[in-house]
Chains A and B, each alone.
Chain A
Amino acid sequence: MKRVEVKLGLPVVAPLLDIIKRTVDSLGEELAVPQPLRDLDEELGSAWKNELLTEQTEDCRRFLALFDSEFFSTGMIAFDDDNAESVLRACAAIRLRLRDRELHEVSDEALEGAGVDAAKLDDAAQKTYLCYVFLATLQELIIQHLDAAILDG
């Protein structure tokens, strides 16, 4: 099993965990992306949403589990075949939520083109944007090193 260990700067990342946990809490009852699907009857639509919610919650739980006591003593987190997909999806869900709830003043064009001038954001939005970029960096690391495991899994 391939395993990727990453050492993170505790003073930088620890404050971001407050934003991440708050965002995960806000995802407890809602999907990161509302997914209306026409033509589904009420029962199937409800089951569809509930199943997606359950999976979203489990992905977020597995992601938060990376930041355990070992992380707070060493700064290390690890990805492997077993958690890579969940972490990727959780990062996507949290980034979508951050964009929707806390980065709505940033234009789509700026976000897509990485053209965000963080200095022009207020302090809270700067921290949120740093969190948004941090999660994208984790996703890039997983895709770069564990893509084969994900595609074969």
Chain B
Amino acid sequence: MSLFPGKTEVAPAPRSETELAHTGLWRVVVLNDPVNLMSYVVLVFRKVFGFDEGTARRHMLEVHEQGRSVVWSGLREKAEAYVYTLQQWHLTAILEPDEAR
């Protein structure tokens, strides 16, 4: 939403490197740990992302067997919110730029 609806030409404000780095798409990646129960990880995935049982189990097995699983991809702000929520549940979650898109 513009603060100046009548104005048609507005020079863009300079953007910092951090701002530029945060544009584009980002991946939420969950990394394996040897402690959290499989059933717990499945429950957390269902709770946080609304996955059905099968999808949650598939991601959990991917984490378990391959060490990581990309559980979500999208805009940075929402990706950060997902990482924060996963960290509340003590899963090891990181953000990566989604360079494939």
Same complex origin of A and B: yes
Residues of A within 8 A of B (CB): 31-33, 35, 37-39, 41, 48, 51-52, 55, 88-89, 92-93, 95-96, 99, 108-109, 111-112, 136, 139-140, 143, 147, 150-151
Q: Interface residues of B, CB < 8 Å — how many? A: 26
Contact string, B66-101, partner A, CB cutoff 8 A, digits 1/0?
000000000000001001100111111111000000
State how many angstroms separate the Cβ of A104 from the closest Cβ of chain B: 11
A147 to B90, Cβ gap below 8 A?
Answer: no
A109–B64 CA distance with the chains assembled, in angstroms: 11
State how many angstroms separate the Cβ of A54 from the closest Cβ of chain B: 11
Residues of B within 8 A of A (CB): 18, 21-22, 33-37, 39-40, 43, 46-47, 64, 80, 83-84, 87-95
B87 to A33, Cβ gap below 8 A?
Answer: yes
A108–B91 CA distance with the chains assembled, in angstroms: 16
State how many angstroms separate the Cβ of A103 from the closest Cβ of chain B: 9
A137–B95 CA distance with the chains assembled, in angstroms: 31
A93 to B95, Cβ gap below 8 A?
Answer: no
B87 to A35, Cβ gap below 8 A?
Answer: yes
The 10 A-B residue pairs whose C-beta atoms are closest, nearest first, are A108-B34, A92-B90, A111-B34, A112-B34, A35-B87, A143-B39, A99-B35, A96-B35, A95-B35, A32-B90
